[in-house]
Amino acid sequence: MHIDILTIFPEMFEGPFKHSILKRAQEKGLASIDLINIRDYAIDKHKRVDDYQYGGGSGMVMMIEPIARCIDHLKEKRAYDEIIYMSPDGILFNQKIANQLSAFKNILILCGHYKGIDERIRATYITREISIGDYVLSGGELGAAVVADAVIRLIPGVLNDETSALSDSFQDNLISSPVYTRPAEFRGMKVPDVLLSGNDKAIAQWRFDQSVERTRERRPGLLDEQ
Ligand code: SAH
């Protein structure tokens, strides 16, 4: 899978994409990410990408020309399955959307700043708008990193243990069961006996029961979702 991320702050991604699973996915050739600086597509020599908003009011707006030129140029190279704009008024990101996106070949993620982007970009280029929560961030970069992380770890082969992602929370609309590692006893707190029993069937049943109980307790709404 290839992800193009359009941003005016490409440096913001250096941390998240250069470590751990995301780094490994790129090294294995399972995912590639290009950070594209919208400023490189500015139309004046000052590399300006924002301007005052029509109608007045505080806050700048990202201009249409640099973004349109940038997307037009990239579209000559790739056919995108989805052109995503990170936006607080988009659809709330969840595991289901991450699963859908992980099956795609090429996606583009546009990060806004300031008051947002000129509405005409949203109307003409964007195929999906994603929010990472009901709060306002100063830019789309952190959201794009969240989406890229959640999506890339679902690509087959990225996680070492292929079944590992399947037992994570939200797959099957259930919260993950609790997990333990050594020692079997710490300050009197014991690991549940069943996990030490070696009985795979009993362990699977215990984990399922725990998942259902936890979901009922913590996120009952998930059980009603399809
Ligand atoms: N004026 C806008 C907020 C702009 S915030 C409004 O009230 O809706 C600046 C940029 O940050 C946005 O263009 C968007 O790309 C990003 N952003 C802010 N909050 C976000 C969120 N919850 N999820 C995803 N992106 C967000």
Distance (angstroms) between ligand 1 centre and the Cα of 86 equals 7
CATH number at residue 28: 3.40.1280.10
Q: Is the CB of 139 under 6 A from ligand 1?
A: yes
Distance (angstroms) between ligand 1 centre and the Cα of 84 equals 13
Atom of ligand 1 nearest to the CA of 131: 23
What's 27's DSSP letter? H
Q: Given 152, 177, 205, which residue is the final one in a domain?
A: 152
Q: At what angle do helices 141-152 and 95-102 cross, to 10 degrees?
A: 70
Q: Report yes or no on 161 lying in a domain.
A: no
Looking at the fold, whether 219 and 191 belong to one and the same domain comes out as yes
Instruction: Tell me the residue range of the domain where 12 lies.
Output: 2-152
Q: For the beta carbon of residue 202, count every other beta carbon within 10 angstroms.
A: 13
* Ligand 1 atom 23 nearest Cα: 131
Q: How far apart are CA 5 and CA 13, in angstroms?
A: 10
- Best mutation site among 121, 128, 137, 147 for ligand 1, i.e. most ligand atoms within 8 A of its Cβ? 137
Short-list 165, 174, 12, CA closest to 86: 12
Helix (H, G, I), strand (E, B) or coil at 129: strand
Per residue of the chain (226 residues), what is the pLDDT tens digit?
A: 999 999 999 999 999 999 889 999 999 999 999 999 999 999 999 999 999 999 999 999 999 999 999 999 999 999 999 999 999 999 999 999 999 999 999 999 999 999 999 999 999 999 999 999 999 999 999 999 999 999 999 999 999 876 688 888 898 899 999 999 999 999 999 999 999 999 999 999 999 999 999 999 999 999 988 6
Q: Report yes or no on 190 lying in a domain.
A: yes
Q: Report yes or no on 158 lying in a domain.
A: no
Residues 120-171 pLDDT 10s? 999 999 999 999 999 999 999 999 999 999 999 999 999 987 668 888 889 8
- Please say whether the beta carbons of 108 and 121 come within 8 A: no
Q: What predicted TM-score, i.e. pTM, was given to this entire model?
A: 0.95
Looking at the fold, whether 194 and 126 belong to one and the same domain comes out as no
- Please say whether the beta carbons of 148 and 72 come within 8 A: no
Looking at the fold, whether 92 and 49 belong to one and the same domain comes out as yes
Looking at the fold, whether 131 and 209 belong to one and the same domain comes out as no
Q: Is the CB of 54 under 6 A from ligand 1?
A: no
Q: How far apart are CA 219 and CA 215, in angstroms?
A: 5
Looking at the fold, whether 89 and 173 belong to one and the same domain comes out as no
The count of structural domains within the chain is 2
pLDDT at position 169: 87
The beta strand positions in the chain, using DSSP E, are 2-7, 32-37, 50-52, 60-62, 82-92, 106-110, 128-131, 185-186, 189-190
Distance (angstroms) between ligand 1 centre and the Cα of 61 equals 12
Q: Report yes or no on 148 lying in a domain.
A: yes
Q: CA 208 → CA 35, 125, 178, 204, 217, distances in Å? A: 41, 43, 10, 6, 14
- Please say whether the beta carbons of 162 and 156 come within 8 A: yes
Looking at the fold, whether 117 and 219 belong to one and the same domain comes out as no
